Amino acid sequence: MSMVQNPFYYKTRTLYCENMPVRTLVKKYGTPLYIYSRQAFLQRYAEVAGGLKEFNPLICFSVKSNANIAILKMLGRAGAGADIVSGGELFRCLKAGIPPSRIVYAGVGKTTAEIRFALKSGIRLFNVESLPELHAINAVARGMGTIARIGFRLNPDVDAKTHALTTTGKKENKFGLPIAHALDYYREAGRLAHVRAVGIDMHLGSPIFSLQPYTTALRKLLAVLDTLATHNITLEELDIGGGLGITYANEKPFTVAAFARAIRPFVRRSGLRLIVEPGRYICGNSGILATSVTYVKKTPVKNFIITDSGMNDLIRPPLYGSYHRIEPVQKRGQRTMTADIVGPICESSDFMGKDRKIEEPGAGDCLAVMSAGAYGFSMSSNYNSRPRACEVLVSVNNASVIRRRETYDDLVRAEVR
Ligand code: LLP
């Protein structure tokens, strides 16, 4: 199959994923169904790898965006490392065969058990977010007779101009350490025998649609490197996080080439190995959520299209007010209606789209919630005791189940009767 621009497309009114009609997949696997395109993942990964090639970077896929082992395995084989934030994510990465030397670990609340697990596994780098954490890592490493490679995640106080709930690089956010005191942290690390400070790190938020926050923050990081140099502190790695935006509706995200141009002067001058942590950019438009219409409910003030997927399957719209395009899996040329597209969950916030103009569906018709590959399944839950969805990975004209649909028994498996 030739590389098409978008692996999700219509042919004679039928929505396809690569060479598979979505309705065929739905018939076989049921709904709600996460459908991923292998080609999309690999194409987006290749775009990042190709666009940043001049830096010989380590591309650490942000596991929180899509943590399925089959996805991690596929990206790992393509050369990706991983950005993790928990012992569970580390466990998944190891199962997926991602080499620990390509794994970097961020997060403000690493427990001693998680630190021990990461040290035992031999990960590349801890991105440290507080001084108590630095001391905890040093203590665990001492107990294990080893030395932990660490970097400091610095909070550059730069506004990434993204949703308030997904902004991480402003000084009032819990993330990172205040950049003004960076020298103190590296000096403190220098006094500890079981950590070695090799990195400097930032992550500004997600999704970001402008290059300016990156360059403003990088300027600040470079100033820190200059200060460190005057104290004979030299590093190896420059981790600039993720956050690269994608198109959900009409957004015009910057390209990887533009990103490379913007960061080039800073990365070159730093002389450090570049690490990037894209999640959404690689997986966001590589997956959709297919759902079936259960009822169309018309009231004097509003119409509701009630589907079999809810906020437990995709929480982004209720949580952030995020917009996802919603399209018929099979266009029929019916008249359109304006409706809220909602789920079966007992919460008024259980919606996928509000006031959408859409071809009037009948019960049993299927809809596709687009751009659902990132922070879709990975943020799903069992709320309202709903078994979680099935995930399938499509490659040309083959589909494989990469996570079976949960059963009622799965719901109670860990519980004590
Ligand atoms: N690195 C770190 C340290 C992060 O915290 C994140 C995302 C990333 C990388 C990857 O960001 P990305 O390239 O995917 O934008 N649930 C929200 C997004 C939360 C992102 C949290 N951190 C959403 O659905 O939009």
Q: What is the mean pLDDT of residues 138-157?
A: 97
> Which residue in this structure is represented by tokens 């922070």?
375
Q: Which amino acid is at 341?
A: I
DSSP conformation letters of 277-329: --SHHHHGGGEEEEEEEEEEEE-SS-EEEEES--TTT--HHHHH-----EEES
Question: What is residue 242's three-state secondary structure?
Answer: coil
Ligand 1: which atom is nearest the Cα of residue 166? Answer: 19
Q: What angle do CA 278, 284, 289 make, to 5 degrees?
A: 150
Q: What are the backbone angles phi and psi of residue 92, rounded to the nearest 5°?
A: -60, -45
Please indicate, yes or no, whether residues 206 and 259 belong to a single structural domain of this protein: yes
Closest by CA position to 246, among listed 208, 214, 205: 208
Residue 127 has pLDDT above 80, yes or no: yes
Mutate to test the pocket of ligand 1, among 41, 44, 62 (most ligand atoms within 8 A of CB): 62
Clarify whether residues 133 and 178 are in a common domain: yes
Instruction: Give residue 162's pLDDT.
Output: 82
Q: Do residue 145 and residue 223 come from a single domain?
A: yes
- Are 261 and 385 part of one and the same domain? no
Domain that holds residue 403: 8-36+284-412
Task: List residues near ligand 1 (CB under 6 A).
Answer: 62, 64-65, 83, 106, 166, 203, 206-207, 241-244, 277-281, 316, 320, 374-375
| pLDDT tens, residue by residue, 184-238 | 999 999 999 999 999 999 999 999 999 999 999 999 999 999 999 999 999 999 9
Is there a single domain that holds both residue 266 and residue 364? no
In contact, 67 and 74? CB cutoff 8 Å:
no
Q: Is residue 74 domain-resident?
A: no
Instruction: Identify the CATH number of the domain in which residue 406 sits.
Output: 2.40.37.10
The pLDDT tens digits for 379-399 are 999 999 999 999 999 999 999
Q: What is the rounded CA–CA span in Å between residue 403 and residue 401?
A: 6
Query: Is residue 323 over pLDDT 80?
Result: yes
DSSP 59-105: EEEEGGG---HHHHHHHHHTT-EEEE-SHHHHHHHHHTT--GGGEEE
Determine, yes or no, domain membership for 133: yes
Active-site annotation, residues: 346
Q: How many CB atoms lie within 10 A of CB 362?
A: 9
The amino acid that residue 68 corresponds to is N
The structure's pTM equals 0.97
**CA 160-258-57 angle, 5° bins:** 85
Region 163-171: mean pLDDT is: 80
Over the chain, what is the mean pLDDT? 96
Probe ligand 1: pick from 206, 283, 315, 378, max atoms within 8 Å of CB? 206
316 and 339 co-located in one domain: yes
- Same structural domain, 234 and 315: no
CA proximity to 83, closest of 93, 73, 74, 97: 93
pLDDT surpasses 70 at 1: no
DSSP labels for 159-208? ---S-GGGB-SSTTSSSSEEGGGHHHHHHHHHT-TTEEEEEEE---BSSB
Query: Could you tell me if residue 58 is inside a domain?
Result: no
pLDDT digits (tens, 9 = 90+) for 262-294: 999 999 999 999 999 999 999 999 999 999 999
| Residues 137 and 274 placed together within one structural domain of the fold | yes
61 occurs within a structural domain: no
